[in-house]
């Protein structure tokens, strides 16, 4: 039976990447009915909008790609960030629990404080150091407390051919200046949103196995959802780099002649503090979803090629 899958945040990087992947894989649209919505249809800043949206419709799965993502602005808009990243996630999770829907939610490496000296595993202690990270962590915790079935995928340094991101900012700045200062003491792993979209769908298929199970009756499916666990996964592209290395790679691959100067975080003050080391260990998702994760420079090449074609 065709499964209905709601995707929020359709105009964001991940939302648009999911649409791209679904269009490219016609099999997916045969197996599932994807419904992509933006804030005009489902406004996570408004509890009433969420209630109204789900009043008369149910989905087999919900993929929440919507979020308050402006990390610096969150410092001056903590209530709005909390509403979208925490309270709305709680409401979605409660709805998922009540309606037996499977919820996939995206979280961030910024739930950690960045003081580790080895890649973070899913069970490591969280300790966000900015408002965005705190609101995202509260969203995770509310989802866990709801008892809904689903998965949380923490990711980092997301870029794509869509929306605003570091790659597009560097390409734009390189047109305006012949040298740029970029931080070299924050270390993480870039994530191409197309790769992340594929992983979201892999997790959906893996965990929400009844999606592919033709024999299940509706009643049996509901019991399965109720009994299924909520897993946290870490996902980013393979390898690590600093923002400086990331910028250098963007210009090298694109054959752009722009000098990159390495600077320290303290030389580029921002309203929100950021973790110095936010590398995540991806062993769990690799093993459970049978993934081979692309190296970050290879995925960066794909994105730059896509940008050139657009």
Ligand X SMILES: NC(=O)c1ccc[n+]([C@@H]2O[C@H](COP(=O)([O-])OP(=O)(O)OC[C@H]3O[C@@H](n4cnc5c(N)ncnc54)[C@H](OP(=O)(O)O)[C@@H]3O)[C@@H](O)[C@H]2O)c1
Residues that bind ligand X (CB under 6 A): 9, 11-15, 38-39, 42-45, 65-69, 84, 106, 108, 136, 155-158, 163
CB of 188 to ligand X, least distance (A): 9
What is the spatial distance between Cα 96 and Cα 156, in angstroms, rounded to a whole number?
25
Our measurement of the distance from residue 234's CA atom to the centroid of its chain's CA atoms, rounded to an integer in Å, reads 10
The nearest distance, CB 163 to ligand X, in angstroms, is 4
Distance of alpha carbon 19 from alpha carbon 38, whole angstroms: 12
Give the nearer residue to ligand X in terms of CB position, either 192 or 208. 192
| Residue number with CB closer to ligand X (5 or 42) | 42
Q: Residue 302 and residue 190: Cα distance in Å, rounded?
A: 13
Question: Rounded distance, CA 8 to CA 215, Å?
Answer: 29
- Please name which of 131, 152, 153, 130 lies closest in space to residue 142, comparing C-alpha atoms: 152
**Catalytic one among 132, 184, 235, 244?**
132
Tokens at 262, concatenated: 């390495």
Closest to ligand X by CB, 106 vs 148, is 106
The 3-state DSSP class for residue 161 equals: coil
Q: How far is the CB of 18 from ligand X (least distance, A)?
A: 9
Q: How far is the CB of 65 from ligand X (least distance, A)?
A: 5
Q: What stretch of H or E contains 6?
A: strand 3-8
Quick one: 108 or 186, whose CB is closer to ligand X? 108
Which residue is at the shortest CB distance from ligand X? 12
- How far is CA 119 from each of CA 84, 112, 134, 163, 244, rounded to the nearest angstrom? 28, 11, 20, 28, 20
132 is catalytic: yes
Catalytic residue ranges: 132
């Amino acid at each position: 039976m065709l499964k209905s899958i709601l995707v929020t945040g359709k105009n964001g990087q991940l939302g648009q990447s999911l649409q791209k992947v679904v269009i490219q894989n016609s099999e997916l649209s045969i197996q599932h009915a994807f419904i992509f919505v933006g804030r005009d249809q489902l406004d996570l800043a408004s509890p009433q909008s969420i209630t109204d949206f789900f009043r008369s419709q149910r989905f087999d799965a919900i993929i929440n790609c919507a979020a308050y993502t402006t990390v610096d602005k969150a410092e001056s808009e903590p209530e709005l960030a909390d509403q979208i990243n925490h309270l709305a996630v709680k409401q979605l999770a409660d709805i998922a629990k009540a309606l037996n829907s499977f919820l996939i939610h995206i979280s961030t490496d910024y739930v950690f404080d960045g003081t580790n000296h080895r890649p973070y595993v899913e069970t490591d202690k969280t300790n966000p150091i900015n408002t965005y990270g705190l609101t995202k962590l509260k969203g995770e915790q509310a989802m866990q407390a709801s008892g809904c079935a689903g998965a949380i995928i923490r990711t980092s340094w997301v870029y794509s051919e869509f929306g605003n991101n570091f790659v597009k900012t560097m390409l734009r700045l390189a047109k305006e200046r012949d040298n740029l200062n970029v931080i070299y003491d924050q270390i993480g792993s870039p994530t191409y949103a197309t790769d992340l979209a594929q992983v979201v769908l892999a997790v959906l298929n893996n965990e929400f196995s009844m999606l592919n199970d033709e024999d299940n009756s509706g009643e049996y499916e509901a019991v399965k959802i109720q009994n299924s666990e909520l897993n946290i996964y870490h996902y980013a592209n393979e390898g690590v780099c600093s923002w400086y290395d990331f910028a250098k790679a963007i210009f090298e691959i694109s054959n752009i002649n722009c000098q990159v100067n390495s600077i320290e975080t303290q030389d580029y003050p921002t309203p929100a503090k950021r973790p110095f080391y936010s590398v995540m260990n991806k062993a769990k998702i690799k093993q459970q979803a049978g993934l081979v994760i692309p190296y970050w420079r290879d995925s960066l090449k794909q994105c730059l090629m896509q940008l050139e074609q657009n």
